[in-house]
């Protein structure tokens, strides 16, 4: 009877506790998700203990050879049995956690591997696209990595805001650090291909006069030609090759009617000898926007486009930027 009283008392205590938990879950609508989860865990534990006690009471009542515990030890033994039962449950949960962790680790390895391959392939593809200008930018005192970092920190209304790199704890596995670095590099190179003035400003890319020293068509003396000339007729459409903002549109001494576009990172493009401008100062343009029409204004011997790319205001040979 002592054992039975002990078991029944514990059973009733747990039943009351279960009713309290159920009442809280039913009537307290303002509970946070964390509080709800804690209550549900408590409920699960109580139900497990009730099941255990029910089994013990059923065994006691149905076993003719049941030997009662010592009077003073019954409650202690009961608590021990309950703790042992809970420990068995925790062991099962621990094993499930180990198995889940193994599955997560395997999924993590597969995902990291796929992302690594994807970033590597895209970085290589972007580097191939930029390979043709590496020699040119090197002469400007720049590097691909430097420009990619600049591109990530550059923003305008067309290319978007500054890139926010992934924040990986310095204590995290090196593979995550490497992924974060590769993604940042990928993003920088991708932005660079959009920001830099890459491509030709005319459909028919017939160069009639390259960049460099040449015989001046007016004085016949040798003089530095600061851009490249494309063949064209009056009215030939001339295109923006990259997004940017028009910083000047109109007449310029020697150049005639011109349009100049700031593309960011220190790079600008200049279209000279136009017959007409199609944009105004302050306009934003996208690749393919018609910025002017070919002509022969200013110091010109015939219809053509004089095209310059400048870095921080100084013209350089744009041929590697123009060719595919």
User: Could you tell me the CATH number of the domain that includes residue 240?
Assistant: 2.70.70.10
Antiparallel, parallel or unpaired: β 314-316 and 256-264: unpaired
Q: Please indicate, yes or no, if residue 79 is contained in any of the structural domains.
A: yes
Q: Which domain holds residue 233?
A: 207-322
Both 86 and 131 in a single domain? no
Both 221 and 145 in a single domain? no
- The model's confidence at residue 11, banded by pLDDT at 50, 70 and 90, is confident
Residue 225: partners with Cβ closer than 8 Å, 6 or more residues away? 209, 210, 211, 212, 213, 214
Both 187 and 229 in a single domain? no
Q: Please indicate, yes or no, if residue 32 is contained in any of the structural domains.
A: yes
Strand-pairing partners, residue 262, are 245, 268
Q: What is the pLDDT of residue 137?
A: 95
Q: Please indicate, yes or no, if residue 109 is contained in any of the structural domains.
A: no
Both 10 and 66 in a single domain? yes
What is the spatial distance between Cα 48 and Cα 42, in angstroms, rounded to a whole number? Answer: 10
pTM of full prediction above 0.95: no
Both 220 and 180 in a single domain? no
Q: Please indicate, yes or no, if residue 52 is contained in any of the structural domains.
A: yes
Both 133 and 91 in a single domain? no
Question: Residue 152: pLDDT above 60?
Answer: yes
- CB atoms under 10 Å from CB of 31, counted, come to 14
Both 152 and 89 in a single domain? no
Question: Residue 67: pLDDT above 50?
Answer: yes
Q: Please indicate, yes or no, if residue 201 is contained in any of the structural domains.
A: no
Write out the two tokens for 28.
Answer: 């307290």
- The model's confidence at residue 72, banded by pLDDT at 50, 70 and 90, is very low
Q: Please indicate, yes or no, if residue 200 is contained in any of the structural domains.
A: no
Which of 139, 170, 195 is the last residue before a domain boundary? 195
- The model's confidence at residue 78, banded by pLDDT at 50, 70 and 90, is low
Q: Please indicate, yes or no, if residue 107 is contained in any of the structural domains.
A: no
> Looking at the 3D structure of the chain, how many domains does it have?
3
Both 143 and 181 in a single domain? yes
Question: Residue 177: pLDDT above 50?
Answer: yes
Torsion angle (degrees, nearest 10) of CA 76, 82, 88, 89: -150
Both 212 and 304 in a single domain? yes
What mean pLDDT is predicted for residues 161-172? 88
Which of 149, 169, 195 is the last residue before a domain boundary? 195
Both 10 and 93 in a single domain? yes
Which of 100, 126, 160 is the last residue before a domain boundary? 100
Question: Residue 52: pLDDT above 80?
Answer: no
Both 228 and 311 in a single domain? yes
Q: Please indicate, yes or no, if residue 127 is contained in any of the structural domains.
A: yes
- The model's confidence at residue 73, banded by pLDDT at 50, 70 and 90, is very low
Write out the two tokens for 90.
Answer: 């925790």
């Amino acid at each position: 009877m002592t054992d039975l009283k002990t078991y029944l008392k514990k059973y009733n205590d747990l039943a009351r506790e279960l009713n309290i938990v159920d009442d809280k879950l039913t009537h307290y609508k303002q509970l946070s998700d964390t509080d709800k989860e804690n209550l549900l865990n408590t409920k699960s534990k109580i139900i497990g203990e009730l099941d255990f006690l029910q089994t013990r009471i059923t065994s006691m009542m149905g076993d003719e050879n049941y030997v009662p515990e010592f009077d003073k030890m019954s409650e202690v033994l009961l608590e021990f049995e309950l703790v042992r039962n809970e420990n068995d449950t925790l062991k099962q949960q621990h094993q499930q956690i180990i198995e889940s962790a193994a599955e997560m680790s395997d999924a993590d390895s597969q995902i990291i591997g796929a992302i690594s391959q994807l970033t590597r392939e895209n970085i290589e593809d972007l580097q191939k696209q930029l390979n043709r200008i590496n020699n040119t930018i090197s002469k400007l005192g720049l590097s691909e990595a430097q420009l990619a970092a600049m591109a990530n920190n550059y923003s305008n209304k067309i290319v978007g805001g500054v890139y926010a790199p992934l924040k990986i704890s310095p204590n995290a596995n090196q593979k995550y650090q490497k992924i974060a670095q590769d993604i940042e590099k990928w993003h920088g190179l991708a932005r660079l291909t959009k920001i830099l003035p890459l491509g030709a400003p005319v459909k028919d890319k017939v160069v009639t006069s390259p960049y460099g020293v040449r015989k001046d068509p007016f004085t016949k003396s040798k003089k530095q030609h600061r851009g490249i000339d494309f063949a064209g007729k009056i009215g030939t459409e001339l295109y923006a090759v990259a997004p940017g903002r028009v910083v000047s549109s109109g007449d310029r001494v020697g150049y005639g009617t011109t349009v100049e576009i700031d593309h960011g990172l220190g790079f600008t493009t200049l279209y000279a000898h136009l017959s007409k401008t199609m944009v105004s100062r302050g306009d934003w343009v996208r690749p393919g926007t018609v910025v002017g029409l070919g002509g022969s204004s200013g110091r010109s011997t015939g219809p053509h486009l004089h095209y310059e790319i400048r870095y921080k205001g100084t013209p350089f040979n744009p041929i590697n930027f123009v060719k595919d």
